[in-house]
Amino acid sequence: MEKKEGHFVLVHGACHGAWCWYKVMAQLKSMGHKVTALDLAASGVHPKQIHDIHSIVDYLEPLTSFMASLKPEEKVILVGHSLGGYSISAAMERFPEKVAAAVFATAYMPGPNLPYLTLSQQFNETLGSDKTMDTQYVFSNGIDKPPTSGLLGPNFMATKFYQLSPPEDLALALTLVRHVGLFQDEESIKALAVTKEKYGSVRRVFVVCGKDYIVKEEYQRWMIKKNPPDEVKLISDSDHMVMFSKPNELCSCLQEIADKYT
């Protein structure tokens, strides 16, 4: 069977940027695919700073602009990692006709009956007593109010995110991570709401990572049960950073998805 070529749009998670996809980008391109990896606002090399980002709408602007720029007949395969699941969900809701399939790689997967606040509450219940360890928080609205941004701590990343990834990739990450906004405002919550008619019309694939110590497998399976995708794939021995710990296996999954959905 002839392998199909797709256009993959890769969307990073919290504090990361387009740079985290470098292995996957190179491999997908060598397989004949078109690849776009985006920096969301104030991420990676994006020029905006965290204090310029006032809601999730600002944060998602690079993805929104990219989707709007696609030709009417062009369809892409969205791939969201971790927090990027919310990003691609917002894009699916707004541009369902431009998405051939959406891939949630150990990512938050909201649904019409599984809103952001429910996902957040359930996720917080899965965190251990050490919670987010040495992660730094900024309280722009005052210390008595919820934090407005966060930066993943080195120990937190080493033990919960990158524990099975090559040490040089963790070293790269430690030099490149940036603060991410923690959005609890009404505009952001509204912007992340999805409907059965739009988001629900896009085919979804969830990639389970079996050794993820932050978005734990039980939580991944809970999302899948509450909001069943069209397909579930398993990379059993991947940590949270699947693009670093198991890039070949992830690319194999993405090729299968391109063959099936483009």
**Catalytic amino acids?**
82, 212, 240
Token pair 């989707």 in the structure block, residue: 67
Amino acid at 120: S
Give the position of tokens 């996809």: 21
- At residue 151's C-alpha, the angle toward residues 146 and 155, to 5°, is 120
Residue with tokens 């019409």: 112
Bridge-partner residues for 105, per DSSP? 81, 207
11 DSSP β-pair partners? 38, 80
Distance of CA 60 to the CA centre of its chain: 12
Sheet holding 231-235, edge to edge: 34-38, 7-11, 76-81, 99-105, 204-209, 231-235
CB atoms within 10 A of CB 256: 14
- CA distances (Å), origin 50, targets 13, 27, 148, 203: 15, 31, 9, 33
Task: Convert 11-38 to b/e letters by CB count within 10 Å (16 or more is b).
Answer: bbbbbbbbbbbebbbebbeebebebbbb
